[in-house]
Structure 1
């Protein structure tokens, strides 16, 4: 079941506000071309049969002309006269009857634009996607991507009815942003859109997936300003998870290692103070985890050998902690043959 949109975080609003229509690399013909890929960290996996199938001839869409060019003129005339439903069927008929004709790409683009003008945004997005999938080399790729982004952005911020009901699940909206990135994974605005995707994940409390998106951004676009934001946001998610699951030592260690690495990588990070605060909190948590583990062996299991090993490990790693003197004293007692504590 699709989840409902709850709270879209401040980061979403910032990220969306800055995304513009600059996209993938421009060819010598002046067109923008995408570089499709299926795998992006933190994105939903694509099914093997997820490619949009080509439209087939249908009884419901019959042509009114002998050639694609003539059919295109008929469809455009109907649209000009405001006969939108009839125009849509005429465009569809052309696409299905002559799918390889140059006019088919024109008709597909016109169909998507017509749906967009009518406010049928979800359907329009899908028709633009069909255009990219089947006519990528015969359409204004950059403009189509820009239109897809505007639609996804609109759906993100206009997702409630006049009665306050949620219209679409956040999964559906997020998947549209993911599709845009897949359409142009090297696009200039892919990092910004990935920030939006990560923030939607955060708003749905899907923190591991958000971390994957942010760290994917860091790895793919390490020199961008968005990478700086992603480092902070990933650290925030990792800190929250480590504190929430305070019993999970590996998760805590991973969070500490990530924040340390991020601060080495970006020593003058704008949020360095906050990230350092998180690092100190997590270090204190790790110390507490290891101390309590040693005490558990000493007092609960009453296993002297296990307790001594745990105390030694503690002193090796946390020799300057506030527990260090207490641990040294207890270890000395155990090494002299003292019984485990009750």
Structure 2
């Protein structure tokens, strides 16, 4: 026979169980509540509207359109999802699909920017390496493909188009396996577009950021070649010529067995002749124009010493002998 105290305990247990059941029901209801956007829409959307009322159904609808081959419709609906429900779990996959469809349609600049938005706003919610590779492919295509093609007009090269894109890739993932190549291609894009000073800076960044990569030697060659071309563009610039000579010497010392050695050797011969010619011009100026025999004597002596096998060494030696006599006679007259 149960006691009053036993009945009280029984009633308390029943009440506690009922309370647990009520909490479970309430929690279940909470998990089933529809998604509510708290971050707000992304940008202006005057004509863009989602077909469904929640991100889950919107995602399913966009995917269905894609499976049915309606890529234009799928593109709009993926975009609508990422715009109207920016904080939903489906937003990142929708943004990814939207960018891929833009890329497939050939809207490459826009696709690159949408991949970039994915990287900047949805870290860890998408296949990072795949997105980087897609950005790389877009940048390389824009760098190497002519722009402005129309009917019979072949278009023109614009490699500099790839520069800001490769810069973003390196900034996105400086340790990525293709980051050294991306940095190298920045230098190459500048070089191909004739912006040699900027090419030198980019190639140097590649050398020092990634000294052990497969692109370190290529970057060193690109830097040297750019400095050489700068010297050819500015034949009267002694500093440009000296910087090219220093880069050539450094490259030969660092990469003595390089595949670029034959080209570097030709550059060296050209710069050597130009430096010798500049040295002769300086001596000639002191000799014939400024009429300063002592200064001319020193300049000719330097030429013979530094460039013993140049085309101007013979002329310098002839003048040296005459100037020695002139300087000695002047010294005798002015003891």
TM range (shorter): 0.7 to 0.9
Q: Which of residues 317, 322, 326 is equivalent to 1:325?
A: 317
**TM-score with structure 1 length normalisation?**
0.72
* Whole-angstrom distance in 1 between the partners of 2:300 and 2:268: 23
Deviates more, 1:66-75 or 1:131-140: 66-75
| Aligned-residue offset at 1:306 | 4.5
* Whole-angstrom distance in 2 between the partners of 1:121 and 1:168: 17
Match of 1:77 in 2: 64
Change (3 A) 1:259 1:167: closer
Q: Which of residues 119, 131, 146 is equivalent to 2:106?
A: 119
Q: Which ranges of structure 2 fall in alignment gaps of 5 or more residues?
A: 1-40
Q: Which of residues 242, 264, 283 is equivalent to 2:272?
A: 283
* Whole-angstrom distance in 2 between the partners of 1:217 and 1:235: 13
Match of 2:244 in 1: 255
Match of 1:62 in 2: 49
Change (3 A) 1:64 1:191: same
* Whole-angstrom distance in 2 between the partners of 1:243 and 1:277: 13
Name the SS of the counterpart of 2:43 in structure 1.
coil
Instruction: Say whether the 8 Å CA contact 2:294–2:327 is kept in structure 1.
Output: no
Match of 1:98 in 2: 85
**CA-atom RMSD in angstroms:** 3.0
Change (3 A) 1:57 1:95: farther
Q: Structure 1 runs of 4+ off > 6 angstroms?
A: none
Instruction: Say whether the 8 Å CA contact 1:214–1:234 is kept in structure 2.
Output: yes
Matching of residue 193 in structure 1 with residue 182 in structure 2: yes
Match of 1:157 in 2: 145
Counting only pairs closer than 5 Å after superposition, residues 1-342 of structure 1 correspond to structure 2 as: 55-56=42-43, 58-155=45-142, 156-157=144-145, 159=147, 160-166=149-155, 169-304=158-293, 306-308=295-297, 310-311=299-300, 314=303, 317-318=306-307, 322-323=313-314, 325-326=317-318, 328-337=320-329
Deviates more, 1:119-128 or 1:248-257: 119-128
Instruction: Say whether the 8 Å CA contact 1:214–1:233 is kept in structure 2.
Output: yes
Change (3 A) 1:168 1:302: closer
* Whole-angstrom distance in 2 between the partners of 1:309 and 1:262: 31
Match of 2:11 in 1: none
Name the SS of the counterpart of 2:46 in structure 1.
coil
Deviates more, 1:255-264 or 1:209-218: 209-218
Higher helix share: 2
Structure number with higher relative contact order (C-alpha < 8 Å, ≥ 6 residues apart): 1
| Aligned-residue offset at 1:206 | 2.2
Instruction: Say whether the 8 Å CA contact 1:57–1:97 is kept in structure 2.
Output: no
* Whole-angstrom distance in 1 between the partners of 2:222 and 2:156: 28
- Whose Rg is larger? 2
